[in-house]
Amino acid sequence: MGVKFFGAFLIERGVITPEQLFEALEEQKRVNLKLGEHAIRLGYLTPEQVEEIRKLQKREELRFGEAAVRLGYLTPEQVEQLIRIQKSSHKLLGDILVEKGFITKEVLARELKIFESEQRAYMTEMVYLPEGVKNRDFINIVVDLGKKFLLRTVDINTKFGDFTFEEYVKRGDYDVQVDTAGDVKMKVIFSPPKKLPELLVREYGIPDSPELRKDAVNEFMNVIMGNAVAKMERLGKRISISVPKEPDISSKCLKYNLVSPDDTYTFYFLEL
């Protein structure tokens, strides 16, 4: 069965059309403003300050409000107010589909019940790995950070998918590996779809070329691994990481997918 998003689920069941989903998603994007957009609308922040906050979020694991407070742009009280406003105005995809007349409330309730029943195993905010996996805390942290930085850097929302144990297969020219040493000895590969490097060069503000796309993916992996090491240090673990390099794994390892509506972002872990 695998992890699914509600819109794709409705299309598969013939409840809505792809065109209706696209229209609803565009409306959802229009009405569900980000925290920074609310802050600009209320005059709390300038667009330039929002961009500075986003730059910090691309380097460190910080929520928008945390980054804004650290930079001195917002007070904790202003952040709380913005969060309340954001929550009160938020619209779910199903409600928008009903508002547009694409489905009825009764159909929405029925389909949500079926969807939640099928997807219950994947509806989690944590990466679950069995007790027997060595260094599972570190693996959990890396995958969780991958999910967060995909959202905060290039606005790609993913869900935690299944993990398997299988041989690494190179996906393309942008696969990158970082090795760890110290208290955690491991080879970690990030295997992104082709579109991610294109988005990263744009977000990092660098010229576009095959070489610089590779550099952008390397930098993205550096950010994930650097933040993972920092979190592990707070748990009392001392870890060093190598510079990003070409993958050299040829054996069976743990494979973990992050799933977006139209792509998969894969991590491989080989414990040494």
Q: Work out the angle between the directed axes of helices 210-234 and 136-154 (0-180°, nearest 10).
A: 130
pLDDT score recorded for residue 198: 95
At 257, which amino acid appears? Answer: N
Segments of the chain scoring below 70 in pLDDT? 1-2, 121-128, 130
pLDDT score recorded for residue 172: 87
Q: How far apart are CA 122 and CA 159, in angstroms?
A: 8
Strands of 176-182's sheet, edge to edge?
159-167, 252-259, 264-271, 186-191, 176-182, 239-241
Look at the block and give the residue holding tokens 């929550």. Answer: 87
- Residues 126-170 have pLDDT tens digits of 666 767 788 888 999 999 999 999 999 999 999 998 888 999 999
Q: How far apart are CA 126 and CA 250, in angstroms?
A: 28
pLDDT score recorded for residue 78: 97
pLDDT score recorded for residue 251: 86
At 52, is the secondary structure helix, strand, or coil? helix
pLDDT score recorded for residue 16: 95
pLDDT score recorded for residue 121: 63
- Residues 206-233 have pLDDT tens digits of 999 989 999 999 999 999 999 999 999 9
pLDDT score recorded for residue 163: 86
pLDDT score recorded for residue 133: 81
Q: Which residues contact 193 (CB under 8 A, 6 or more apart)?
A: 171, 263, 264, 265
Domains of the chain plus CATH, in order, are 6-122 (no CATH), 136-271 (3.40.1550.10)
